[in-house]
Amino acid sequence: MGNEFPPETPPVSPDDAGTPPTDPPEEDAGTPHEPGEPPDAGTPPDAGPPPDAGTPPDAGTPPDAGPWPVDAVLNYTRSFGVGTPQSVGLDEGLNFWFLDGNRIGVMRPGDTAPKWTTGIGQARQPFGSDSLAVDSTVICGGEAGRAYVGYRAREMQREEGISQRTYIPGPGEPNYTPERYAEYQKGDLDAVRLQADGTVALEEHIWRSIGSSNAGRQIGIHNTNDFHYEEDRSILNCARVTRGPYRGDLYITTNHGVTRIQGLTYNSHRHPGWYLITTNPDGSKNESLQCPPMYGLGLARNGDVLVANEQMLGVLIPSGKLEEWDREKTWEGPTPWRYKGFNEVLNGQASDDYWRAFEQTTSGVYYLGSAEFGVWAMTPKSRSAGNWSKLARLPTNRILALKSTDDGALYIGTNGEGLWRLEPDGVTLTRVQEVSGQRVLQLVYEPTVTPSMLLVLTDQGLTVLRGP
């Protein structure tokens, strides 16, 4: 697709890329609607009739093609009136899910447009720093008819008598206040359900921890090993496992780490952190665990979980037991790190690399995309160090999304230069001209159908590629 990038075009230096904000940009949150809008907002008035619904599967198509059009490239914004949502997902039943501010849209097989529901779950109140959520962030499909919706909350502040910012005393404990305890209800993740009429209803605000610390308290996502620590307040990314023995599991990344979810039960969390050691005037030492926001999330073909925060990256090997997810024993134990390190070629340990995406291609090479420093290939040379090289000849260093596909390619979503494809040779780059939009917000891959589906969400809407 598209034309090969001209070799004579020089790469853009990192200094030209600009520095992204620490929190997700406000403009990514979609356009919130008034809280008084009816629960079923229907199809947006400007959607119009679908001009071309694509080519439906027929007798000559593979039996597992699924219910959606099999065109090699199809613009769903034009064909189905899906608009320009901020996030998109597919569930196990191949229902499309869309997130647009305080609206959730669903398009079932056979529908000609999404049906929208407004103001449920954490979006039932107007967004704001003192509300249930600052804004919505991402949506991921789960089992057939279920989706998960992520939200962002403001960072907690320290209170008098509490030394740690994220510590929240429970009722009957020293320094307990109802106001601070209410912080548990903010941000986090909703599970929502598709109704018979095509609308969406809240199933549950996720709170069921695999650990016993919370003792049945319905207080959202918190540390599994000790509920007092409210560290995972903002959901930044999500991915559903689409193959292998753990198919159906969900991973979410947050302002602090990566959490694993099965159905409505979670285990939180893991993170590739490191300790910053500072010296006090009296010569004593302070150790501070560094766990910046985690945007990068990928799933390798062998089931490994690929995560990257602003400074570090890691490859986790999940076990078959959800309760073992947060058992941190580094290189040993039931859920060890296959790799944990940082890009020593790019920056020092304490410098932000602004990782936004992490994938492994069928060749075994890892690729990371930075919001400021471009795409980097990495092959481990030990469990904590890698051979790093920057991908040349991209027209920008500003990367928002990556996705590895079964044909061996890597799709690269840029912030300003559209969608690009790196061929399996790891060298040839082409721009995918058929996908409209300059800013690629999200890439979602569905390999359970043939031809496979690659969902490309841009600032101009949704395009689906079949067969990568």
> What would the pLDDT profile of 176-234 be if each residue is shown by its tens digit?
999 999 999 999 999 999 999 999 999 999 999 998 887 778 999 999 989 999 999 99
Residues 254/206, Cβ–Cβ less than 8 Å:
no
Within 13 Å of residue 162, how many CA atoms lie on the same side as its CB?
A: 20
pLDDT of residue 323: 96
Instruction: List helix spans (H) across 102-208.
Output: 178-181
pLDDT of residue 343: 98
> In the chain, what are the domain boundaries?
21-36+82-270
Average pLDDT over residues 295-322: 97
pLDDT of residue 33: 40
pLDDT of residue 182: 94
C-alpha to C-alpha distance for 383 and 321, rounded to whole angstroms: 24
Within 13 Å of residue 88, how many CA atoms lie on the same side as its CB?
A: 29
pLDDT in tens, 396-449: 999 999 999 999 999 999 999 999 999 999 999 999 999 999 999 999 999 999
State yes or no: pLDDT of 17 exceeds 70. no
Pick the more confident residue, 276 or 3.
276
**What pTM was computed for the model?**
0.88
Q: Which amino acid is at 9?
A: T
Based on DSSP, count helices (H) and strands (E) in the chain, helices before strands: 2, 31
Q: What is the edge-to-edge ordering of all strands in the sheet holding 313-316?
A: 294-299, 305-309, 313-316, 337-341
Instruction: Read off the pLDDT band of 286 (50, 70, 90).
Output: confident
Instruction: Read off the pLDDT band of 50 (50, 70, 90).
Output: low
